[in-house]
Amino acid sequence: MNLWQKYVRPSSVKEAVQALVSAPPPAVPIAGGTDLMLDLKQGRHAPVHTLIDLTFVDEMKRLELRGNELFIGAAVAVNRVAADPLVAAHAQALVEAANLIAGPQVRNAATIGGNVAHALPAADGTIALTALNAQAEVASPEGTRRMPFTALFAGPGKSSLDKSREIIVGFYLPQARKGQASCFKRIMRPQGVALPILNCSVWLEREGDLFKEVRVAVGPGGSTPFRAAEAEAFLRGKPLTEENFSGALEALLAQAKFRTSARRASADYRRHIVGGLFKDALETAWGRAA
Ligand SMILES: Cc1cc2nc3c(=O)[nH]c(=O)nc-3n(C[C@H](O)[C@H](O)[C@H](O)COP(=O)(O)OP(=O)(O)OC[C@H]3O[C@@H](n4cnc5c(N)ncnc54)[C@H](O)[C@@H]3O)c2cc1C
């Protein structure tokens, strides 16, 4: 049986949305295909009638400064995110996450938008973008709108987008200023591919020896990409000391809902190792922001 009947290549966002709403259903966007093709072939995704290739949409392949923000199109390949000097300057955590996704061949095809749209709570690019406080630009037949990044997710593997009429165009990130820095770290099985046992991303702003602002994301720390808001609140206005780190970790552990995943790790194991990973990411970002 064919996994799809028709393949279309729009070249603008408008055409892509138009194709999504007007093509014979079911119509599904495809970017790098590194998740979708496996899901189709292995029966985790029902066969589709029309695949809408987003990788020829010019706007979605842009990566540039716009005003005081960095724009990264959803169809930008992960290896380009990893190598781009603008991303390095403004979103180091995202460079680190992109460099760890899969191997070079997959990174050449996989896109940052596909990483996010698949809506897995431990996807590496997704966790970095969560800590970086990205905003998503979403297109529908009514036009485009911006939404907070975390509002994109409805559950494990379930985005909040109306898949019959909406696509992610790209992501906006605030430009980094002096005193701000970020970091991404993960723990992975030595032979592991795809998702990590645990990942953690931190963005922070220092005011001398105090946390002026801090954001912490952990994957998988819940059914959607998890922000450790309680730990962030605990650290704000304080210096980085052993005692304050312990308080922040306690707050993170009280808030996170670690899950057991059959092939990767138990919830207990994740609770046990998250402290070391969080500390490593926090101290690295703290040092970078000095
Ligand atoms: C061997 C291997 C190793 C991997 N390792 C990792 C890893 O270490 N870390 C990690 O996080 N991931 C990993 N992945 C998963 C995958 O490569 C990434 O999630 C990748 O970024 C997905 O992007 P894509 O462009 O290939 O998405 P696709 O497969 O094209 O699409 C994925 C889903 O998103 C939808 N979609 C895509 N783009 C958009 C858009 N702009 N708007 C709306 N919907 C959209 C599609 O319809 C589909 O449902 C791995 C995959 C493989 C095969």
The rounded distance, in Å, linking the Cα atoms of 34 and 250 is 37
What's the average model confidence in pLDDT over 41-64?
95
Percent of the chain whose predicted confidence (pLDDT) is above 90: 92
Q: Tell me the CA–centroid distance for residue 114 and ligand 1, in Å.
A: 4
What's the average model confidence in pLDDT over 1-17?
93
Does residue 1 form part of some domain?
no
How far does CA 104 lie from the centroid of its chain? Answer: 18
Strand, coil or helix: 153: strand
| Number of domains the chain contains | 3
Per-residue confidence (pLDDT) for residue 194, from 0 to 100: 78
CATH number of the CATH domain containing 32? 3.30.43
Atom of ligand 1 nearest to the CA of 126: 11
Is the confidence at residue 1, as pLDDT, over 70? Answer: no
Per-residue confidence (pLDDT) for residue 252, from 0 to 100: 98
Is the confidence at residue 192, as pLDDT, over 70? Answer: no
- Judge if 276 and 200 occupy the same domain: yes
* Paired strand residues for 44: none
Does residue 97 form part of some domain?
yes
Per-residue confidence (pLDDT) for residue 25, from 0 to 100: 87
Q: What does pLDDT average to over the chain?
A: 96
* β-strand pairing of 167-174 with 158-159: unpaired
Q: Tell me the CA–centroid distance for residue 213 and ligand 1, in Å.
A: 31
- Judge if 155 and 239 occupy the same domain: no
Per-residue confidence (pLDDT) for residue 195, from 0 to 100: 86
Among 78, 81, 115, name the best residue to mutate to test ligand 1's pocket (greatest count of ligand atoms within 8 A of Cβ): 115
Q: Tell me the CA–centroid distance for residue 81 and ligand 1, in Å.
A: 14
Confidence of residue 189 (pLDDT cuts 50, 70, 90): confident
Q: Which residues are CB-neighbours of 176 under 8 A, at least 6 positions away?
A: 89, 90, 91, 182
pLDDT for 266-288, tens place per residue? 999 999 999 999 999 999 999 99
DSSP letter for 30, please: E
What's the average model confidence in pLDDT over 21-44?
94
Is the confidence at residue 29, as pLDDT, over 80? Answer: yes
pLDDT for 198-228, tens place per residue? 999 999 999 999 999 999 999 999 999 999 9
Does residue 151 form part of some domain?
yes
CATH number of the CATH domain containing 234? 3.30.390.50
Per-residue confidence (pLDDT) for residue 127, from 0 to 100: 98
User: Is residue 34 lining ligand 1, measured as CB closer than 6 Å?
Assistant: yes
Tokens of 24: 């014979």
Q: Tell me the CA–centroid distance for residue 32 and ligand 1, in Å.
A: 7
Q: Tell me the CA–centroid distance for residue 109 and ligand 1, in Å.
A: 9
What residue has token string 């992610």? 168
Per-residue confidence (pLDDT) for residue 150, from 0 to 100: 96
Phi-psi region of 111 (alpha: psi -120 to 50; beta: other; left: phi over 0): beta
Tokens of 2: 């064919």
- Judge if 138 and 66 occupy the same domain: yes
Does residue 113 form part of some domain?
yes
Which segment, 63-67, 188-192, 195-199, 260-264, is predicted with the most confidence on average? 63-67
CATH number of the CATH domain containing 153? 3.30.465.10
CB atoms within 10 A of CB 47: 12
Q: For residue 146, which phi and psi values (nearest 5 degrees)?
A: -100, 145
Render 224-278 in DSSP notation, one character per residue. SPEE-HHHHHHHTTS---HHHHHHHHHHHHHH-----BTTTB-HHHHHHHHHHHH
Hey, whose CA ends up nearest to atom 50 of ligand 1?
A: 194
The rounded distance, in Å, linking the Cα atoms of 284 and 240 is 12
User: Which residue range(s) make up the domain with 111?
Assistant: 59-174
What residue has token string 């009514």? 142
* Paired strand residues for 226: 218
Tokens of 105: 């061949």
Does residue 118 form part of some domain?
yes
pLDDT for 144-173, tens place per residue? 999 999 999 999 999 999 999 999 999 999
User: Is residue 197 lining ligand 1, measured as CB closer than 6 Å?
Assistant: no
Q: Give the global pTM.
A: 0.97
**Distances from the Cα of 114 to the Cαs of 20, 76, 159, 170, 208, in angstroms?**
16, 10, 11, 11, 38
